[in-house]
Amino acid sequence: MFILMDMRSSLRTLDRSTIRAIALVCLADAVVGASFGAITVSGGMDAWVPVLLSVVVFAGGSQFAAVGVLLAGGSALAAVAAGLVLNTRLLPFGFAVADVLDGPRWKRLLGAHLITDEATAFALQQPDRARRRAAYWASGLGLFVIWNVAVVLGALAGGAIGDTDALGLDAAFPAVLLALVLPAVTTDRPTRRAALLGAALAVAATPFLPPGIPVLLALAGLALAAPGKTPAPDPDTPHPAADPAPAPPAAGARTPADR
C-alpha–C-alpha distance, residues 175 and 29, integer Å: 11
Please enumerate in sequence order all residues whose Cβ is within 8 A of that of 151, keeping only pairs 6 or more positions apart, or say none.
33, 34, 36, 37, 50, 51, 54
Average pLDDT over residues 162-186: 62
pTM, whole model, 2 decimals?
0.63
- Enumerate the domain spans of the chain: 2-169
Average pLDDT over residues 117-126: 86
pLDDT of residue 257: 45
Average pLDDT over residues 178-193: 70
Give me the torsion for CA of 100, 103, 104, 105, rounded to 10°. 20
Q: Which helix (H) or strand (E) holds 88?
A: none
Q: What is the pLDDT of residues 136-148, one digit of tens each?
A: 999 999 999 999 9
The pLDDT confidence band at residue 238, using thresholds 50, 70 and 90, is very low
